[in-house]
Each structure stands twice: as structure tokens, then as C-alpha cells.
Structure 1
Amino acid sequence: MQQHMIDSYRAARLGEPAPPVPGTHDVATVRAMRDYRRFEAVLAGRPATGRLRAALAHLTAPQHRRRPPACP
């Protein structure tokens, strides 16, 4: 926040447009990261959708339904 205030002051002194408020582009950044991960999954031959939901379902499944970890 302090850096934004300094940049805003500098921009006002130089007659430049003010920088965007912190957090303005956070949602767009998260969406771009998600899209990139899906794209990489498709290129690697993995399913592009449902991986997070499947992982959460696996973690929240009752203990008797879980498979034991593989022994090394």
C-alpha cells in the first residue's frame, strides 16, 4: 500500500496517470493461471477438468473407502 502511495505521488508530480490500485487484477491473474494449468494438462494427456474436485473427494472420503498408500 505504501509503494502504491509513493507511485501515485510520483505520477501526480510528473503528470502521468496513476497506477492501478493493488488487487485490481488479482482475479484475472488467478483465472489466467487456472487456464494455463488446464492447457498444460491437455498437452500432457491428463484430464483438464475435475482434478481439484477429485482430489478433494479423495481427501474427504471415509477411511474405509481409501486405499492404503503403496509400499516402496
Structure 2
Amino acid sequence: MLVLTRKQNESIMIGNDIEITVLAIEGEQVKVGINAPKNVDIHRKEVYLSIQQENNEATKTETNMLEKINEYFKKES
């Protein structure tokens, strides 16, 4: 993990097209602004993990459905 120190209104760059700027520091909270291309998804980590979990559950459901359909057709043969 890379650790950087930034003051308010200072930025870091990720690659050529993602800029993260420290907008405000209020007590224990830091507000950051992110400039990135529209095709880059940006989420808070807890939201990202929730999306990943939902995607994994949806994949399992689809697999179960395919197995049930396969079993159905085997019985019909």
C-alpha cells in the first residue's frame, strides 16, 4: 500500500486520467473529490463489497437454475 500525505486542496494522480483532491478536513473526516473518466466506476468500499456479494449470489442462482433445467430435460428423455 502506498501512503501519501496531502493537505487541503492538494491532489494525487492515478495514471494519466484520475485525480483525487483533498477538499476538506473536518475533525476525523476527510472529504475527497475524484475526477475520473465516466467509464470508471467509483464506489465506497462497503458499497463495492455489497455489489460484489450480490453479483456472486446472482451467479450461484443462475447456476442452480441451469442445473434444474438440465435435470428436467434428463427426466423427459
Fold match by TM threshold 0.5: no
TM-score by length of 2: 0.35
More strand by share: 2
More helix by share: 1
